Structures are given as structure tokens and as C-alpha cells.
């Protein structure tokens, strides 16, 4: 099985929000990248996202214009499957749908060498289940990133039932080679660790709005100016140590029972989806992204992440 140092050419399958970022990250760290999509229009969207990200990175001094141009020169966008057998490593980031993922992996692994390490960026679907369509599944594991991946360092490396330690180690080493912060996740839990934590927060956020405790804007503010800033610096267990195990135990005695414990998708989220809202990607979300506000919002978010990263780690890519 190939190790990180044997990997030079990477196939990113799925040129969406995540794939567009992955292409830039791998190219920035001198990998040759194929960004593969099923339609020209999906590649056009990726080009648009990449141009916004690169403009911000150059404006913020993360990259020079020359470095940005060189990075873009290492990315080949294609709808042709001819790139499949040329890859030394494959990161799949196609739509979050088991049938689509199975169809992709079955086709890819029928034409690619058996020593090529393979990873999926599923948000939380079972790695073991996705692996059922993979020929030689011991070289396959999860590699879960956080949006926007070119600015957020965490990568969860998840072993499915069939994943070998060697494949997990190679994916972990690839994350290190990209200056990311990998963690290992065992037992393939739904949502891994990050999304288990995130969806607990999201459920409670919708609950607070649905119950009329606060507006969406104010719930977002509680996160941005309160918990979010704290959690950028210390995790929940460190927080409890700083706050006092006795205090958390006492407050927990009434808090845990007061939290939302509903199953299913929160009503406000479901209704927004059913009304055709997809967020920034179709300029129709909980906030207004019409008339170019999407570009401004993306640039503002990226500038904030870069500033925070610089403050915490001293450089942009940790």
C-alpha cells in the first residue's frame, strides 16, 4: 500500500464547496491535483469558488500572486474519467448520498491500482457501509474535514471495520503533510466526533429560536462572541477544569434535563429546505445573500478565520 511519501498525484472527486477547497489545499502543498466533476457546470462553480478564495488569500497576504498562480497551475479540472488510474491517492467528496457514493467507488476501484489509498469526506455516514462498494476495502478510510477546509485545520481520520492501520496512518500522514491537525476516530460512530458535537449545538440552537427564547441573530451572537471564542482556545474538558468540576456537576444537575432531546430534523431547518433555501450556495438562506452579498460574506468569513488563525497559531495554515 502506498505511503504518504509515494503520493504525488491526487484525485479530488466532487467539485462542490469542499472539493473546490481541497484542490487548493493539495495544490498549495505541491501535489498535482485532478478535480473531477460530472458536469462542466459543476466545474465552473468550483472555478468561481476558487477564484474568491484565492483573491482573499492574496489580499490577506497568505499567498503571493505568483504562488497563487503556481498553485492554480497544479490543478486540472476535468469531467473525463481518464484521470482515475493516474491518481496515487483519491479523496471523494461527492454529494452526501449513499447510492451516489457507492456508484462512484465501485466504478473508480474497478480501474485503479489496488495499492492506492482511498478516503471519503462523508460528514458522518458509515465508513463501513460506504466501503461495501470499494474493491480491497482495507485501503479505504474516512477523512473528514471542516468547512472551510483551506482555513480550518482539523481532519478526522476514521477507521471503518475493514480499514487497515496502514491506510489510516497514510491518511493521517497526508493530513500532516498539508499542515492540518488530524485526530483518529475509532468504532466508526455516526457523525464521528465533530458532527456529534455540532449537531447537539445545532439542535439546541433551533430549539431556542423555535421556543422564542432568542432570535437567530442573537443565537449566532452567543456562539460568536461567547462559546465560539472560548472553544477556539480550549475544549470542553479543559473548560470544565478551568470552571470547576464541582460547578459543572451542580449546574449539570438541572441543565441536562432542560435541553432539547427531540429526534428528527428541527422544524425550522426542514421548512427552510422545503422552501428551496440552500444557504450561500444558492444565495438564499437564513440571511440575505442577494446582489453580491454572498461574495462579501465569504470574503468576510475567510478574513476572520485567517486573522484568528494568525492570532492563535502565528500563521495561516498552522
Ligand X SMILES: NC(=O)c1ccc[n+]([C@@H]2O[C@H](COP(=O)([O-])OP(=O)(O)OC[C@H]3O[C@@H](n4cnc5c(N)ncnc54)[C@H](O)[C@@H]3O)[C@@H](O)[C@H]2O)c1
Binding residues for ligand X (CB under 6 A): 13-19, 36-38, 42, 93-96, 100, 104, 121-123, 145, 147
**Least Cβ distance, residue 69 to ligand X (angstroms):** 24
Question: CB of 113: closest distance to ligand X in angstroms?
Answer: 19
On whether the CB atoms of residues 93 and 18 are closer than 8 A, the answer is yes
| Closest chain position to ligand X (CB) | 16
192's grid cell = 464521528
Kindly tell me which of 240 and 283 has the beta carbon lying closer to ligand X: 283
Cα-based distances in Å from 112 to 57, 86, 107, 134 = 34, 8, 9, 11
Q: How far apart are CB 81 and ligand X at their closest, in Å?
A: 9
List alpha helices for the chain, DSSP H: 17-28, 40-59, 65-73, 98-108, 127-130, 165-177, 194-210, 216-222, 228-233, 236-243, 245-258, 267-274, 293-313
Residue closer to ligand X (CB basis): 85 or 165: 85
Alpha carbon of 218 to those of 92, 204, 207, 250, 285: distances in Å?
36, 13, 13, 27, 16
H or E stretch covering 154: strand 154-158
Lookup: cell for 188? 466508526
In the complex, minimum distance from the CB of residue 159 to ligand X, in angstroms, rounded to a whole number: 18
* Of residues 140 and 145, the one with the C-beta less far from ligand X: 145
Beta carbon of residue 245, minimum distance to ligand X (angstroms, whole number):
33
Q: Which is nearer to ligand X, 67 or 96 (CB)?
A: 96
Cβ closest to ligand X, residue 240 vs residue 280: 280
Residue for grid cell 484542490: 23
Amino acid at each position: 500500500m502506498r505511503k504518504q511519501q509515494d503520493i504525488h498525484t491526487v484525485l479530488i472527486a466532487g467539485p462542490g464547496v469542499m472539493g473546490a477547497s481541497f484542490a487548493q489545499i493539495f495544490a498549495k502543498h505541491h501535489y498535482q491535483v485532478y478535480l473531477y466533476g460530472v458536469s462542466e457546470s459543476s466545474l465552473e462553480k468550483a472555478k468561481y469558488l476558487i477564484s474568491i478564495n484565492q483573491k482573499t488569500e492574496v489580499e490577506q497576504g497568505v499567498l503571493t500572486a505568483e504562488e497563487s498562480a503556481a498553485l492554480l497551475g497544479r490543478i486540472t479540472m476535468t469531467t473525463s474519467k481518464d484521470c482515475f488510474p493516474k491518481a496515487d491517492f483519491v479523496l471523494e467528496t461527492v454529494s452526501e448520498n449513499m447510492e451516489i457514493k457507492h456508484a462512484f467507488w465501485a466504478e473508480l476501484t474497478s480501474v485503479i491500482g489496488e495499492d492506492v489509498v482511498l478516503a471519503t469526506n462523508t460528514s458522518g455516514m458509515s465508513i463501513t457501509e460506504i466501503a461495501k462498494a470499494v474493491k480491497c476495502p482495507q485501503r479505504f478510510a474516512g477523512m473528514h474535514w471542516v468547512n472551510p477546509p483551506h482555513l480550518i485545520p482539523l481532519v478526522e481520520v476514521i477507521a471503518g471495520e475493514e480499514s487497515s492501520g496502514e491506510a489510516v496512518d497514510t491518511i493521517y500522514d497526508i493530513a500532516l503533510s498539508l499542515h492540518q491537525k488530524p485526530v483518529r476516530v475509532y468504532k466508526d460512530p455516526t457523525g464521528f466526533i465533530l458532527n456529534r458535537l455540532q449537531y447537539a449545538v445545532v439542535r439546541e440552537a433551533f430549539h431556542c429560536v423555535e421556543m422564542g427564547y432568542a432570535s437567530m441573530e442573537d443565537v449566532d451572537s452567543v456562539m460568536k462572541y461567547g462559546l465560539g471564542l472560548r472553544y477556539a482556545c480550549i475544549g470542553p474538558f479543559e473548560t470544565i477544569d478551568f470552571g470547576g468540576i464541582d460547578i459543572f456537576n451542580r449546574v449539570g444537575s438541572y441543565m441536562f434535563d432542560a435541553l432539547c432531546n427531540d429526534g428528527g430534523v428541527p422544524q425550522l431547518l426542514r421548512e427552510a429546505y422545503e422552501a428551496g433555501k440552500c444557504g450561500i450556495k444558492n444565495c438564499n438562506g437564513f440571511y440575505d445573500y442577494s446582489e453580491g452579498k454572498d461574495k462579501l460574506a465569504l470574503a468576510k468569513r475567510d478574513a476572520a478565520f485567517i486573522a484568528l488563525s494568525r492570532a492563535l497559531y502565528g500563521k495561516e495554515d498552522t
